Amino acid sequence: MKIEISPLTRLEGHAKVIIKLDERGQIESAKFMVLGFRGFEKILVGRPIEEAPRIASRICGICQVAHSMASAKAAENALQITSPEDAIRLRRIMHYAGIIQSHLLHLIFLALPDYLEFKAYNPLEMLLKEKPEIVKSTITARTLSQEIVELTGGKSIHPVLNAVGGVLNSPDNEKYRKLVIKAKNLVKILNEIVEKTEEIFYKKAEELREIFEMNTLYIALVNKNNVDFYEGELCIKNSNILEKIPPDKYSSILTEKTIKHTYIKYPYVKTAAKEELTRVGPLARYNVSNIKTENNMLYYNISRLKECLQLAEEIEKLVDRPFKEKPYTAITFHEGEGVGVVEAPRGLLIHHYRCDEKGLITKANIIVPTTINAPSIEESIKIVSARCIKNGNIDKEKLKYFIGLAVRSYDPCLSCATHTETSAPLIKVVDYKGRVLALL
């Protein structure tokens, strides 16, 4: 028997889930299938390396700032360029604000309806009706975050000022004053959002702890033993810190496999014993920075919520003084190879470029957080589905609910928003001949 969920809703992109049962009616396999093909690595080949941040940011409209950052860092490392201090400060502000707006979009509009258990066809309509103050506060906070990106990056979507060599221009006195005010207001409103939602996320995570626990490795970027969203070493952890390696050595621990049923390559961490599942993102960042390891996947959202406030407070510190007018280093082209790594909203983001003596890209490899998390997402689906399907008997409502909670906890970014225009069934159960047995 095969169970298909298509489309999987309230995600950034298009995906479906197929669950296969064996002859005894037990879970045999679970497949997380990403339906879109992007091919940005091939698009980058042959392009001037200084164009890479602008092109790479188009990979996504939600986490575009993170792609711009990782791309610029990879190009700078290939050309052996160091950005000025003020450029890095502006980049951090831009990057942190980009993470906040992405986190808020997921937390409140995509995830929160699951935690409030809205049964309506349109959960966002219910959210606006039942929690109007949270919705309004979130819209305000996302607006402030996007305005901070615009003030530092020139545009709120696909910022144009971040470049190979630094930042092309910095905020003038008027923009700087606006930046300080918006940073202060963002901290204030995020405190309100945390106060109104934290208990909701905690309560559901603890209520369903036994169902959503899963052991894996975790990887996050650390700088002087603290999580750093912009630079540092790759830290690998299970219950203990296993290893720290420089970003340009990522291929020594991550191996990628091509999988037939999806356009995503599946990475695994290479250990002495085997290839192991690993997770990145807010939960990984939490675990790397804490002694106790938290394996409950629903804690992804709790960590996201805390990161919003943490990063807003960091932005407020970073705007404590004005910026130099043009924090930019001129570039010269030569053959080279470079890796750029940042913590994107959903986790570790790696850009790896090679260029020739004219500065044209000859090879590009991009590993995004959802790619790293994809094998763990499949395993999560398999684990939670086993709680809903016993001897071929399917608890339909629980199956839809648990799979939605599991997949959305990772906030997988599949490049463009999924929506369902009709009330067509989302889960199809068919037999081995393809005959429809049930529509859920």
Residues 406 and 290 in one domain: no
pLDDT at 26: 80
Residues 181 and 306 in one domain: yes
Helices marked H in 290-422: 299-318, 369-386, 396-409
Helix or strand run (H / E) with residue 244: strand 241-245
Three-state secondary structure call for residue 230: coil
Which residue, 346, 372, 398, sits at the end of a domain? 372
Tell me the residue type at 327.
P
Residues 157 and 306 in one domain: yes
pLDDT at 427: 46
pLDDT at 282: 98
Which residue, 372, 399, 414, sits at the end of a domain? 372
Q: What average pLDDT does the structure give for the chain?
A: 88
Low-confidence ranges of the chain (pLDDT < 50): 416-435, 437, 440
CA distance 1 to 177: 62
pLDDT at 419: 26
The CB-based long-range contact list for 139-145 (8 Å cut-off, 24+ gap) reads 140/189, 141/100, 141/104, 141/186, 141/189, 141/190, 141/193, 141/308, 142/100, 142/101, 142/104, 142/105, 144/182, 144/185, 144/186, 144/189, 145/97, 145/98, 145/100, 145/101, 145/104, 145/186
pLDDT at 273: 67
Residues 65 and 126 in one domain: yes
pLDDT at 278: 93
Is residue 436 packed enough to be buried (19+ CB in 10 Å), middle (13-18) or exposed (0-12)? exposed
pLDDT at 37: 62
The token pair that represents 154 in the structure block: 């020139």
According to DSSP, the residues that pair with 390 across neighbouring strands are 393
Residues 143 and 181 in one domain: yes
Residues 388 and 316 in one domain: no
pLDDT at 28: 82
Residues 398 and 339 in one domain: no
According to DSSP, the residues that pair with 223 across neighbouring strands are 226
Which residue, 353, 372, 391, sits at the end of a domain? 372
Residues 76 and 93 in one domain: yes
Three-state secondary structure call for residue 206: helix
CA distance 364 to 40: 9
pLDDT at 176: 98
Residues 368 and 388 in one domain: no
How many CB atoms sit inside 10 A of residue 210's CB? 8
Residues 101 and 223 in one domain: yes
Strand order in the sheet with 15-21: 27-34, 15-21, 2-5, 427-430, 436-439
Residues 291 and 341 in one domain: yes
CA distance 58 to 438: 40
pLDDT at 190: 99
Residues 187 and 60 in one domain: yes
Total domains present in the chain: 2
CATH at 252: 1.10.645.10
Give me the domain span that covers residue 417. 2-36+378-439
